[in-house]
Amino acid sequence: MPIHQLSETMINQIAAGEVIERPASVVKELVENALDAHASRVEIVTAGGGLNLIRVTDDGAGISERELGLAVARHCTSKLSDDIHDIRSLGFRGEALPSIGSVARLSIRSRTATSDNAAEIGIDGGRVSPVRPAAANRGTTVEVRDLFFATPARLKFMKGERAETAATSDVVKRISIAFPSVRFTLAGTDRSTLELAAADGSPDGRLRRIAQVMGADFPQNSIAIDAEREGVRLQGHVSIPSFTRANALQQYAYVNGRPVRDKLIAGAIRGAFVDVLPRDRHAVAVLFLTLDPATVDVNVHPAKADVRFRDPGLVRGLIVGAIREGLGAAGIRAATTGAAGMMAAFRPGFGSYDRGGPSNAHRSYDATSRSSATGYDPARSSQRPLDMDFRNGFGESPQSGFDADAMLSADSRAGQNEAPEALLGTQLGAARAQVHQNYIVAQTNDSLVIVDQHAAHERLVYEALKNALYSRALPSQMLLLPEIVDLPEDDAERLALHSETLACFGLRLERFGPGAVAVRETPAMLGEVDTQKLVRDLADEIADNDTTETLKERLHHIAATMACHGSVRSGRLLKPDEMNALLRQMEATPGSGTCNHGRPTYIELKLADIERLFGRR
C-alpha cells in the first residue's frame, strides 16, 4: 500500500485507543471538562455500564454556538496557550471530544451565561452534524451513546456491566476528593446512586468530602499531614497503622488537584509505613501535592494520570518524612475501629450462651484453668522478661527474675488493690489485672484499656533494638558452645555475607563448612532464644528482601525478625508493677500503638460506651 495521509476519523480512533479505554475513561474526560469549566454541579447518568449511555450535565461556563464546531475538532482547546510547562487545567490536549466522537454517538448541548439560547452539535462515529439551536439552561450536557459501536474490537474487551459501573464510580469518587465544593451525583441503571453534597473548600470541608467517599471511619483513624519542602507542599491524611487494607486501592494521590496513579508516590507511602505494616497490608491515604507546574510533567500519557517530577528524590523524601513524622507525633493510638468491633462483639453476647450451651461454656472454662496451672514454667528461661527492665524508673519493686509464689500472689492481688490515683490520669491507665495470661486490663479515668502484652512487648523490643542500633552495637551474650545451624547452602552464604550487619545486633555467626553456620553469640536483649529458629528466620528474611531494600530498611526488618523471637510470650504472668511499667513504657515509645505486624497492641473502650452496653445511657 502506498504511503497516504490517514483520514481524520482514523486519526481520532487511534487516539481514542489510548484516551478512551472503557466507559470510565469517557466519564473521566467529561467530568474533567465540566470541572475545567468551573461547574458547581456535575450530574452523571449511565446505562448499560456506560456502554449504552453516558450523560454528563454541568452548570459551568458553557460553549458558545460559534465554538461548538471547534470543541469537537482535533487539537482544539481553550486551555493551553503556548507554554506546555504551565498547565493549570485538567485538560489540555484537545482530543477527548473528537476521540469519543469517533468511536461513539456524541452530542453536546450548551449555553453560555451571555447567550439567550442553547446550541447543539453531534458526531456519529466521526461524522459531524451541523450546529443547530436547542433549549437548555446555562452549562453543558454531553451525551455519549453506543460507545465503541464504531470499533467493535474494543467493545469485545469490556467487562460486565457491574465492573464498568464500579470503574466509573471509582473515577468519580477519586476526582471528587479534589473538588469538595462541587456537588456530584452519579446514577446508573443498577439503581446504585452516588450523591456527594457540596462541602466548602476549607480543610474541614475537604475532610467531609473524604469521609463521604472513603467512609466516616477513615478520618477518625487517620493522621493529618501537612509539610513543605523547597516549594513542594504535601497535605492530606494517612491511616493509623492499625487501619489498613489488603490492597493499595484506597490510596488517592493528587498533583496540583489532578488525580494521578504514580509509582513514586505509592512507593513513598509504602516506604513510610514499612516499619509498622506487614508486607501484605496497605495504608489508606489521601495525599495532595502542590508544586510549581513547571516542575512536574503531566504530558506523559494521553490519559493524563501519569506524572513525572523534575526532582523525584525531593518528592519521595517529603512524603516519607512527613508521614513518618506524623506517625511519630501521633504516638501510640489504638484504632477506634477496634473498639467499635469490640462493641459489636459484645452485643450479640447476649445470645452466645444459647449457641455454645452451658456445657460448652463450662468446658472452655475448664481448659483455661488447666492451662493456667501448667502454662507457665519458671524453669523455662526463654519466657523471662529479657534485658528490658519494665521497672526502670518505677523503683517500687526492685527484684527481678521469677518465682512462682510471688507471681501467684501478685496475680491474685492485682484485682483488689485500689488503682493509684496518679496512674488513672495516664494514657493507658493503671493495670488492674492480667487475664488469659496475655491481656492486661487497665483503667483510666474514663475508659477500660486492654493490652495485648505479647504484641506490645514485641513492639517495645523492636523499638529498643532499632534505637540501640543507631547508638552503639548491641551487647551480645556468648554461648557456652557454639551452636551449629544446618541450612541450605544459599542461606548459609547469605547469612555469612551479612554477618557484619548481624553482629551490630549482637548476633555473631560464621561459616561452618558447606551448608552450615556456627553461632557464637546471640543478642543479649533477646534473652535465651531458640537460636536455630532465629537463624533460619533471618535467612528467610534476608532472602526475601535483600535485593529490594535499602540497608536501613533491611536493618529494620532484621530487628523486627529478632524482636519476634525475643518478646514476652503470651502466657507469662506479670506482676502489677511489671504491668504498669509495661504500660508506661508503651506510652513513652513512639509507634507502640501497633505491633510490628500492624495489629493494635491495645484497645480502649470508653466508659460511656460500656454504660451504653448496659443500657445505662
Is the CB of 92 or the CB of 148 nearer to Mg ion? 92
What would the DSSP string read from start to end of 117-183? SEEEEEEETTEEEEEEEE---SEEEEEEESTTTT-HHHHHT---HHHHHHHHHHHHHHHHHH-TTSE
Q: Does 206 bind ligand ADP (CB under 6 A)?
A: no
Residue 6 backbone phi and psi in degrees, to 5: -70, 150
Partner that binds at residue 60, options ligand ADP, Mg ion, none, CB closer than 5 to 8 Å by kind: ligand ADP
Cell of residue 171, nine digits: 473515577
Residues 85-114 that bind ligand ADP (CB under 6 A): 91-97
Distance, CA of 188 to CA of 27 (rounded, Å): 12
Q: How far is C-alpha 5 from the geometric centre of its chain's CA atoms?
A: 49
Residue 40 backbone phi and psi in degrees, to 5: -110, -10
How do strand 285-290 and strand 251-255 relate by DSSP bridges?
A: parallel
Contact segment (CB under 6 A) with ligand ADP among 71-79, 308-316, 543-551, 596-604 equals 71-79
Instruction: Provide the 3-class DSSP secondary structure of residue 291.
Output: coil
Is the CB of 217 or the CB of 306 nearer to ligand ADP? 306
Partner that binds at residue 58, options Mg ion, ligand ADP, none, CB closer than 5 to 8 Å by kind: ligand ADP
Task: Count residues binding ligand ADP (CB under 6 A).
Answer: 21
Could you give the C-alpha distances from 383 to 250, 263, 416, in angstroms and in order?
40, 44, 26
Is the CB of 168 or the CB of 222 nearer to Mg ion? 168
Please give the residue whose beta carbon sits closest to Mg ion in the complex.
Answer: 91
Q: Which residues contact 53 (CB under 8 A, 6 or more apart)?
A: 45, 46, 47, 143, 144, 145
Q: Does 242 bind Mg ion (CB under 5 A)?
A: no
Q: Does 77 bind ligand ADP (CB under 6 A)?
A: yes
* Minimum distance, C-beta of residue 186 to Mg ion, in the bound complex (Å): 19
* Minimum distance, C-beta of residue 262 to Mg ion, in the bound complex (Å): 20
Q: Does 288 bind ligand ADP (CB under 6 A)?
A: no
Q: Does 60 bind ligand ADP (CB under 6 A)?
A: yes
Partner that binds at residue 97, options Mg ion, ligand ADP, none, CB closer than 5 to 8 Å by kind: ligand ADP
339: nearest Cα among 616, 608, 617:
608
Contact segment (CB under 5 A) with Mg ion among 85-93, 103-111, 257-265, 348-356 equals 85-93
* Minimum distance, C-beta of residue 269 to ligand ADP, in the bound complex (Å): 29
Partner that binds at residue 71, options ligand ADP, Mg ion, none, CB closer than 5 to 8 Å by kind: ligand ADP
Is the CB of 91 or the CB of 326 nearer to Mg ion? 91
223: nearest Cα among 208, 206, 205, 243:
243
Contact pattern for ligand ADP over residues 397 through 436, marking x by CB under 6 A: ----------------------------------------
Paired residues of 244 in beta bridges: 283
Is the CB of 108 or the CB of 504 nearer to ligand ADP? 108
Partner that binds at residue 205, options Mg ion, ligand ADP, none, CB closer than 5 to 8 Å by kind: none
* Minimum distance, C-beta of residue 302 to ligand ADP, in the bound complex (Å): 10
**What is the 8-class DSSP label of residue 420?**
P
CB under 8 A, 24+ apart: contacts of 265-269: 265/289, 265/315, 265/319, 267/316, 268/315, 268/316, 268/319, 268/320, 268/323, 269/238, 269/319, 269/323
Is the CB of 60 or the CB of 385 nearer to ligand ADP? 60
Q: Does 250 bind Mg ion (CB under 5 A)?
A: no
476: nearest Cα among 517, 510, 521, 519:
521
Distance, CA of 108 to CA of 105 (rounded, Å): 10
Paired residues of 461 in beta bridges: none
Q: How far is C-alpha 607 from the geometric centre of its chain's CA atoms?
A: 30
* Minimum distance, C-beta of residue 100 to ligand ADP, in the bound complex (Å): 8
* Minimum distance, C-beta of residue 108 to ligand ADP, in the bound complex (Å): 7
502: nearest Cα among 512, 492, 489:
492
Q: Does 321 bind ligand ADP (CB under 6 A)?
A: no
Cell of residue 305, nine digits: 494520570
Q: Does 519 bind ligand ADP (CB under 6 A)?
A: no
Note whether 456 and 581 are within 8 A (CB): no
Note whether 298 and 307 are within 8 A (CB): yes
Is the CB of 69 or the CB of 317 nearer to ligand ADP? 69
Q: Does 91 bind Mg ion (CB under 5 A)?
A: yes
Note whether 305 and 299 are within 8 A (CB): no
* Minimum distance, C-beta of residue 157 to ligand ADP, in the bound complex (Å): 23
Contact segment (CB under 5 A) with Mg ion among 86-94, 354-362, 396-404, 467-475 equals 86-94
**What is the 8-class DSSP label of residue 233?**
E
Residues 120-149 that bind ligand ADP (CB under 6 A): 140
Q: Which residues contact 526 (CB under 8 A, 6 or more apart)?
A: 386, 461, 534, 562, 565, 566
Is the CB of 96 or the CB of 223 nearer to ligand ADP? 96
Q: Does 175 bind ligand ADP (CB under 6 A)?
A: no
* Minimum distance, C-beta of residue 89 to ligand ADP, in the bound complex (Å): 7
Is the CB of 114 or the CB of 369 nearer to ligand ADP? 114
Cell of residue 269, nine digits: 507511602
Find the binder of ligand ADP among 15, 61, 172, 223 (CB under 6 A). Answer: 61
Find the binder of ligand ADP among 41, 47, 69, 79 (CB under 6 A). Answer: 79
* Minimum distance, C-beta of residue 16 to ligand ADP, in the bound complex (Å): 11
* Minimum distance, C-beta of residue 146 to ligand ADP, in the bound complex (Å): 19
**What is the 8-class DSSP label of residue 469?**
H
* Minimum distance, C-beta of residue 79 to ligand ADP, in the bound complex (Å): 5
Contact pattern for ligand ADP over residues 20 through 59, marking x by CB under 6 A: ---------x---xx--x--------------------x-
Q: Does 96 bind Mg ion (CB under 5 A)?
A: yes
Distance, CA of 616 to CA of 596 (rounded, Å): 38
Find the binder of ligand ADP among 40, 52, 64, 78 (CB under 6 A). Answer: 78
Measure the CA angle with vertex 602, ends 600 and 606; round to 5°.
Answer: 120
Paired residues of 133 in beta bridges: 119
Contact pattern for Mg ion over residues 10 through 39, marking x by CB under 5 A: -----------------------x------
Write down the H helix ranges in 480-575: 489-497, 499-504, 531-545, 551-566
Question: Where along the sequence are the contacts to Mg ion (CB under 5 A)?
Answer: 33, 91, 96
Question: Where along the sequence are the contacts to ligand ADP (CB under 6 A)?
Answer: 29, 33-34, 37, 58, 60-63, 71, 77-79, 91-97, 140
